[in-house]
Structure 1
Amino acid sequence: MQQTPLGLFWARAATTIPIQRETCSVEQMHQLSIEREYSKGQVKRAGRLLSARVQRSSEVEEAFRVMHNWRFHHAYPMVRERAKLNKLAKETGGFTSGRVKRISSIRKKLARSTVELHQMQDLVGCRAILPTMDDLREVLSRYHSEETGGNVCRKTDYIAK
């Protein structure tokens, strides 16, 4: 079978840390789950404050604490989804990657757009990179199955672009 360039898709969870499943047991992944410590209003205020240039103050330090908690509150679900995706991708010779958006990137996005911190949908993300488009379709189909229950928010065909 002839291989085509890498096909890939993003599976964004509402809430992940880029950790390979092999290095992290299910019990350890549950420990990664970070409880949300701040209200929606506090998250909104922190985002507004940190969208502009700031001077060090206790208010700014608290805003950074709120933002860090908000980011990592979303981490565990991505780890969970990436583990499912990684299992499927490996069966076809593919691999996955994932990330938590950097604070500097969040601040830049807040400064240049009307989206608020509590509305950001790309705080975390993972992707599967697969050898062929057929492999991509197979993994995507199995990821959507009832057994895995995965939800893909955006699929990008980088080959067709």
Structure 2
Amino acid sequence: MAKYTKNIEIDLRSFLRPSRVVWALRVHTAARLACSVHALTLSVKWNWTEGESTDGGVVVLGLRLCGAVWAGAALQPSTAAQPPHAPAPPLLLRYVLQEGDSIAWERSAEVPLYADESRAAPVLVARAPLAPHYEPDAAALHALALFIAAHD
């Protein structure tokens, strides 16, 4: 018998405290794996597309990106001609068991996700791939960030 999995998409704009949604995912994963919540680490897949498995995770929508744009399969520096905020692609969030010393990818950057544009309330930190010409130091200078967009 085939296992049926439904894609779970969550628009974070519809929650008063989106950090609780992320925490609930962590708690649910810990219960499913019968481990401590502290044994888990967040895995983020950028640019999730319909049809890809969401096994054990959720797809989050309603995000905007500052300091860069998503193009192809990586973050690229935004230009002065572009708006200050760009739409972010759907992110697949999953909690997975930590594997000893986690290795940071050389061509990536940590991108904090905030509850709103003011950057006052952090929700999580997502590691994102960088385009070959976008150096991690330059990405840090651009103050990359995601935030939950206001409802239109």
Do these two structures clear the TM 0.5 threshold for a shared fold by scoring above it? no
Question: What TM-score range do you get, normalising by the shorter chain?
Answer: under 0.3
Greater strand fraction, Structure 1 or Structure 2: 2
Report which structure shows greater RCO (CA 8 Å, sep ≥6): 1
Q: TM-score, normalised by structure 1?
A: 0.26
Q: TM-score, normalised by structure 2?
A: 0.27
